Amino acid sequence: MVFCRLRTHQWCFILSNVLLFHLLIFGADLMEEYFLRALPTSYTDMKVLEVREQARKLDMSTLKANISRAYVVSSSEACSDKEIFLLALIFTSPENSLRRSAIRGTWANLTHVRDYTVLALFLLGKPSSEATQQELIKEMKQHQDLIQGDFLDSPENQTLKTLRTIEWVITFCSQARFILKTEEEMFINLPTLVEYLLNLRNHPEDIYLGRLVPQETPNRDPQSHSYIPLHKYSEMYYPDYCSATAFVISQDVARKIYVASKEVPLILPPGVFVGICTKKAGVDPIHSSRFSGRRHIRYNRCCYKFIFTSSVAREGQLLREWEEMSNGKDCTLLETYYGLLSCRVMTYLDGFKHLSVDALQNETLRAAD
């Protein structure tokens, strides 16, 4: 009744408010996608051309036997000569078998999206205890999805792990078209990601896609354990790179990273390391806000069917949400829209809550001091 009696300018006011609200919610994403587009690298740089040429000519077949010695267990047969569209490589710590089984039972329990093959494998190094290693060998026999390098799986060795993973891919799984590198605390929506990749061009090359981290500065605090000395990396900022929590590269980019990595120090954080290698090869990162980075996106079924990743801390939560998600119907456009709206607002409020809780705790700590 009230609506019927509104005048034109009142309608205009309501409409502009609705519009403003949506602009605030989604505008940030659009702006981000626009401004985070990296400037194209010029291919006239001789060094870049050299890396690309070397990557094209790279032949790993003669190194196969030698490289396979660097793995304690390796599911090299897992890839064999199957045509693979997306290879998901999940970085896991040797001790965390609980998480691996949760992942196997949820988002990674999938072999095809439409007619395209998807394969998920776990990457790990050596544990510090022999008992864990025995458990791992059992797990390997049962699931055939572990790749274990012969380095110690410590926080400091994560960049080495990244490089070993890339070496493994180009040696034993060179037919995989796209490679997703992710971490065990992430939820990945494989079907949506595959759909997205299918919509790229016909023969997509130079793909390096994820959540962009722009203008990060190296840690210059000598007391810190992630200290980067000037002689290892001298520039003020890191190049823009995709967050190591989840990013996708095409097979040619894996080869380019491998070739470029020879001159990049392993002391750099894994994401930065990959970013520097791709830059040397003239590959620009592509940003998508559907990658969450380290953030947890508040669960909403239709929202989770749209996004690519979210960080989910607890196994129980992952299992519960997965069950709800798999049992539900498909989402209509309107439902997706409201799902996105709702998870965006809730995630924003969550961030606010964490901030104020942190600040409160700091206050109390300071008061206690």
Ligand X SMILES: *[C@@H]1O[C@H](CO)[C@@H](O)[C@H](O)[C@H]1NC(C)=O
**At its nearest, how many Å lie between ligand X and the CB of residue 156?**
3
Nearer to ligand X, 129 or 362 (CB): 362
Binding mask of the shown chain, residues 54 to 93, with x at each position contacting ligand X by CB under 6 A: ---------x--x---x-----------------------
Stretch that binds ligand X, among 26-34, 146-154, 171-179, 214-222 (CB under 6 A): 146-154
Measured from the Cβ of residue 248, the count of other Cβ atoms closer than 10 Å reads 24
Bridge partners of 124, per DSSP, are 148
For residues 148-177, which are near ligand X according to CB under 6 A? 151-152, 154, 156-157
For residues 326-355, which are near ligand X according to CB under 6 A? 355
Nearer to ligand X, 156 or 263 (CB): 156
Helices 333-368, 8-35: crossing angle, 10 deg rounding: 70
Measured from the Cβ of residue 114, the count of other Cβ atoms closer than 10 Å reads 9
**At its nearest, how many Å lie between ligand X and the CB of residue 220?**
17
Count of residues touching ligand X (by CB under 6 A): 15
- Cα three-residue angle 199-194-36, rounded to 5 degrees: 65
| Contact partners, residue 69, CB within 8 Å, separation at least 6 | none
DSSP character string of 235-300: SSSPPPEEEEEEEEEEHHHHHHHHHHGGGS-TTS-HHHHHHHHHHHTT---EE-TTS-TTPPPPP-
Nearer to ligand X, 56 or 64 (CB): 64
What is the CA 135 to chain-centroid distance, rounded? 28
Bridge partners of 286, per DSSP, are 209
Told to check if 357 binds ligand X by CB under 6 A, we report no
**At its nearest, how many Å lie between ligand X and the CB of residue 259?**
15
**At its nearest, how many Å lie between ligand X and the CB of residue 141?**
15
For residues 207-266, which are near ligand X according to CB under 6 A? none
Selected from 15, 19, 28, 359, the binder of ligand X by CB under 6 A is 359
Told to check if 362 binds ligand X by CB under 6 A, we report yes
- Calpha distance 332→76 (Å, rounded): 41
Selected from 80, 109, 129, 134, the binder of ligand X by CB under 6 A is 109
Helix (H) or strand (E) run with residue 176 in it: strand 176-183
Which parts of this chain interact with ligand X (CB under 6 A)?
Answer: 63, 66, 70, 104-105, 109, 151-152, 154, 156-157, 355, 358-359, 362
